[in-house]
Structure 1
């Protein structure tokens, strides 16, 4: 076996692929910036941090909220379980470990407030992610905690609304119901993440610059959730049979890592694309072309008839 010859061939192949990749990056500058920024923000570490904070903060918060407000948070718990693919079996397994009475007795009102405030760590992890992507200094302290708590409450309310809309869509059924449900949910989630990025960045980045990242997060999030609703239940059942409640938690952590990757990747791609000179020129040219048409439509009379020329 010619080890030296194999090593030379592998080295030559590696150099060739490296040169081809560099040539591609040189031809497409936006691709090079995308790779550099993914490395700069520590993409994998950022995803793991958001997923860990979500697991440590959201699960206890949902358990406590279900114990104190079982009817008010039913849609919230159902939305989270359906999105993560835990399903009814996994939810029953988690709920079977403790009863609502035990949670209320052992937690108390003071413990409930502490749990809710601790859940803001999930929002703070997302805030740091947006600040890192947009090169903004971190805003902490009392103002940062208040803003994160405000976002968390708004996020829970939006999940409630999405859960109610999902029930309406399930009642309609059919392709039409699924299509309308997808569009409505994607629009709501896009607006949610649009507001999320603006709120957690304290308005330091313009709305229009945040739009693309929010739309990507909303649309890809819906696609990811619907895919998880088919793929995750068997995985959850297998983990539950092998590890019990710990298996369900491991499955939820896997889902959270994937969703965190969508959040981070969408926000980063949204910034890079919105700041790319070619994209900016194309958007500006499109606006310039459509502005005269929009102006003529606005000046058009309500009855659709053209204005009569004045008599000379």
Structure 2
């Protein structure tokens, strides 16, 4: 009887240790907040309970101040979740605590009237192209990494987290954030990169102008002028006085950091997935060459034919076919790779 009583008490204590006052959103996710003097870092865990011990799977979303949830005026709230709504969430949740961090200075839940056509948060609904000044000043690579490291530090201390494995993945801009996290955090065991640009960001504009000229969409004279203006913009981003006047240039400066050098320093298993019709990741075709040159064998790559940046199929005219999306397939392949 004594042993049974002790067992019951132990189970009760375990339940108490897991028991937290949960802020559940739409019966889909639990919201957490880490408050600092200058910032509040909000993030969600895709589940409604914390009764299982599982490793963390941090997904770093792409660019722009897109909220995690949208609240329409008349319809029910719905989740964007940094793009994870396109994934097979049940498959990921089965083995991992899936985490997404809210964009800086962006509410977790935003009324639909405060979104522009790209679902970006706009404080003034009458100015659809104007983001909050606070977001613009916070929109740089090092800030995203710093916020994520604080979230991971918090999660490592939770009793419902299995710290033997830590997966960090990112799409587009998020692949840059994921890269820096893995580079500077030795707890990360697997890195996933989706739609990544190995040479940063600014080069994409230059390659884009060249392609437009090659297709005769613009003249080579126009392409040359645009390329020269891009050089000047990038030069301005390194000028402190100009940054004060044009804080948006800070994002161009920080996110144009070439990732390839960082990837070659990372020793953990790295997974690279991209579509062949994605200008952002065109140069991923060259990445295996650098791994070969440096005698590194920790890269697995997956090239998805005729898919674009968000893994939609592409029509003959080059436009995305939004009826044929492949994110579930892409992410499931990554999860399968992790578990090998």
Flag whether TM exceeds 0.5 (same fold): no
When Rg is computed on C-alpha atoms for both structures, the one with the higher figure is: 1
Give the number of the structure whose residues are more often helix, by fraction. 1
Going by fraction, where is strand more abundant, 1 or 2?
Answer: 2
Pairwise TM-score range, normalised by the shorter structure:
under 0.3
Q: Which has the higher contact order (CA 8 A, sep 6+)?
A: 1
